[in-house]
Structure 1
Amino acid sequence: MRKKSDWQLFAKISWMIGFLLVIFGSTTINNQAKVLASATYNLAPYLWTSAITSIIIGAYIALLFLKQLKLKFNLGLFVCVTIPCLTLTLYYPILAFTPAFLENLEFLALPQLLGLTSETIFGVVAGLTLILSLFQWRE
């Protein structure tokens, strides 16, 4: 019984150290993209790195909930939560990446929706639910 308790403590401490490394890495990458965006006046790299790092953070947080790595697809979670959150996360970077294509589609760039999609919480939820929809997380 003592060995299992020691192993769980080691796993929790390892997860926390890994989480700090992921946060540090994503902050460094976002800062580098912000510097690049300010130097080139191109906001697209910063928007993409912000979206992708928030998805990675969410995927790492999902590791807390996994009991085993048994592949089992949860269609309901994927369709009802993951796809809408991925859409909201990637909406603004795609709009910024393809301005020439969307010149005639200005109605897609609603200010309220752009403000909502700039939040990174949707990326965290998208990454979390993506992992939880792919793997079995309940016993």
Structure 2
Amino acid sequence: MAKLVLNIDGIEDDFFTGARMLGIMSQTKNFRFCWLVNTHLHVDFRLNADAEIQLNKKGRNYFFEVYQFCEPGCETEHYIYHNQFEGEHLLPEFKHFDFLWLAKSANLNDEDFLLLQQNLKKINGVQLVTELTPEKIKNKTNLIF
């Protein structure tokens, strides 16, 4: 019998095409953080229960919430991942980040992305915002829902 193997390289390439990421440090609770982002940036992030990521580690299930916002009138999608659940991390290589922001667009330019970073830094409770390059992300498949 032939053994079938799922090729996740193609899935990763498709998912991350046109994507840019930010790592965010903030001790704010996830729902409060999204409320602050919505209020200060005039966006409408909502919890996407269908995109919640479940990882099984050490014989236990861990659930990582994903919030989503689609910019009206363009193809840009934004996702905020909560990087922690009961001591485990969605991206263990970035344990110091509480949230991960993924922006997907065919036309997200450097100026807009820099402006996003600067505006996030102005939110009360946000301690650090930095761009994460795809080469630094070891567990990309953990972000795919």
TM over 0.5: no
**Richer in strand (by share):** 2
Higher helix share: 1
Instruction: State TM-score, norm by structure 2.
Output: 0.28
What is the TM-score with the length of structure 1 in the denominator?
Answer: 0.29
